[in-house]
Amino acid sequence: MRSFGTNATHTGGSAIKAPRTAVLARPARDRRAPAIEVRHLAFTYPGDPPRPALDDVSLEVASGELVAVIGANGTGKSTLLKLVGGLLEARSGEVAVLGRAVREPDARVGFVFQEPRLLPWRTTLENVAFPLELAGRPRPERDGRARDLLALVGAADVGGLRPHQLSGGTRQRAAIARALALDPGILLLDEPFSALDALTRERFNVVLQSIWRSTQTTILLVTHSIPEAIFLADRVLVLAGRPGRVVTEVPIRLPRPRTLADQDATMVSEAASRIRAALGAPPDPARPAGEVM
Amino acid sequence: MRRALRDFLPVLAVAAAFLVAWKLLVVIGGYPAFVLPAPEVVATRLVGAWRDGVMQPHVLTTLSEVLLGFAIGSSLALVTGYTLARSRLAERLLSPYLVAAQATPILALAPLMALWFGTGLVSKVIICALIVFFPIAVATMVGVRSVDRQLLEVGRAFRATPLQVLTRLEIPGALPSIFGGIRVGATLAVVGAIIGSSSRRWSPSPRLESPSTG
């Protein structure tokens, strides 16, 4: 288990500070084997008519990297995430996670859905402990770990409450804590903050950044918010078209930890305009994936 | 204590109003006791029968019929309801018989049950079980079907085994609906036992032909 704690206290109050330990020069690509590897992945939902969702998507996410996937509705962002998470079965192309082909959900991958999806009949603590319970961990361990995780996401005091007693933001915090329960090497986030208001959302991005830094998890984040993608990600992959394909990759070379004030930097607006252009452009695999800066 | 009183007072008041209305109906209508006995007449008779020891064995018999029938009927209903919810094939194969069985008045089956299984405990337990079965089976089916798909996906994402999906997601999710079915089923169990008893002397039975039981 990795250590939690020092950063946990930062996530709670209004003044969310960056973690003390600054990771200098995090390499955009790790030399180790990629945590997530997707090769020529295509997916079509069966039905009448069949709905193609993804077409020939290839990507790599290095260990410890935070990659955002951005795209309009219907470009297959969530489908991509479900394929990586093993919730959908890839029939065309390859998906591998931590060196193993994905056939079913992997214990080393945590999933955060668009909705909190907490079990309404359980307390928040029991919800966070749910994956540990399924994995057969003993009760004392479950409870201790769930408490630590709630503290990590800045929701230490709501363990005894039921989901309906929590605000939308706190519910999503609990969902993130639950996804971290089995100490996954990879975290998949499917528009986790899309239901939150803009201000709460900004705060959550800071929280997520600090969780990512303290747990050193590889994160694949699906979003439809350009500022969110730029604030959080090492790289932004732009999905476009129906079925969706990766049209552009935009590296974000902002130093870590990033602060909300960074959003005003020139390079941010340049990256944003580049992403925006790619979102509007038709799929063009021949386009060279150049850098912003 | 005061709160308990406040909660209980309206219940008492309504019960009292009901008894007063009953008594008034008897007094104003001037009905003889064999048409509509006054509440105190019924109460006296009840207490008297209890004191003489006439009631107890019958209460015990009916109660055991109800409990046994309910236990058997509801257990079968839970299993069947779950199977129907999870298997389209099972639903297509079984539902015509279930609907037909439900459409048949249990009252009509009661004499047959007595004929097939005797007039003892067995026939009455079967009638109870039959009458309890349908509402609980349907409530279980509806409840299991209505379990949030998104929560089931969460179970899958965290690698729940089929048994864990059943015990941690499907049963808790379906429980409100199942309890609704059990509420209906439990009251029907009593009806079943009484119908069962009414066919005790099946052939030839003047009771069955009389309008009071038919």
pLDDT tens by residue, A72-89: 888 889 999 999 999 999
**Arithmetic mean of pLDDT over chain B:** 86
- Domain co-membership, B88 together with B11: no
Asked whether the beta carbons of residue A134 and residue B153 sit closer than 8 angstroms, the reply is no
Q: Which residues of A touch B160 (CB under 8 A)?
A: 134
Would residue B117 count as lying in a domain? yes
Domain count, chain B: 2
pLDDT (tens digit per residue) in A25-68: 444 444 467 899 999 999 999 988 888 889 899 999 999 999 99
**pLDDT classification of B169: cutoffs 50, 70, 90:** very high
CA B153 – CA B165 distance, rounded (Å): 10
Q: Hunting for tokens 């009760």 — which residue is that?
A: A139
The structure tokens 């006439």 sit at B54
Mean pLDDT, range B13-17, rounded to an integer:
95
Residue-number span of the structural domain to which B25 is assigned: 1-52
Domain CATH for B199: 1.10.3720.10
Chain B residue whose CA is closest to A188: B157
Spatial distance between the Cα atoms of B168 and B152, rounded to a whole number of angstroms: 10
> Do B116 and B26 share a structural domain?
no
- Is B80 among the domain residues? yes
Asked whether residue B10 falls in the same domain as residue B61, the answer is no
Indicate if B94 and B2 belong to the same structural domain. Answer: no
Identify whether B82 is part of a domain: yes
User: B200 lies in a domain?
Assistant: yes
Question: Are residues B202 and B138 both part of a single domain?
Answer: yes
Residue B134: count other Cβ atoms within 10 Å of its Cβ: 22
Are B87 and B193 in the same domain?
yes
Considering only the beta carbons, identify the residue of A105, A119, A135 that sits closest to B151.
A119
Query: What domains lie within chain A, and their CATH numbers?
Result: 25-108+192-293 (3.40.50.300)
Minimum-distance CB partner of A105 among B151, B157, B168: B157
In a domain, B122, yes or no: yes
Does B175 lie in the same domain as B93?
A: yes
**pLDDT of B202 higher than 60:** no
| Cβ contacts of A111 on chain B, cutoff 8 Å | 154, 157-158
Interface residue of B148, B153, B154, B171 to substitute, partner A, most A CBs within 10 Å? B154
Residue A7 has pLDDT above 90, yes or no: no
Confidence of residue B83 (pLDDT cuts 50, 70, 90): very high
- Residues from chain A that touch B156, judged by Cβ atoms under 8 A, are 87, 105
Domain finish residue from B35, B52, B69: B52
ipTM of the complex: 0.79
Nearest one of A269, A173, A167 to A226, comparing CA atoms: A269
- Residue B214 within any structural domain of the chain: no
**Judgement on whether residues B68 and B3 belong to the same structural domain of the protein:** no
**Total CB pairs under 8 A between chain A and B:** 45
Chain A closest-CA separation from residue B78 CA (Å): 21
B61 shares a domain with B43: no
Pair B35, B141 in one domain: no
In-domain check, residue B199: yes
Q: Is residue B139 part of a domain?
A: yes
Same domain flag for B101 and B177: yes
Residues B37, B132, single domain; the answer is: no
- Say how far apart CA B165 and CA B75 lie, in whole Å: 20
Q: Which two tokens stand for residue A38?
A: 């997707």
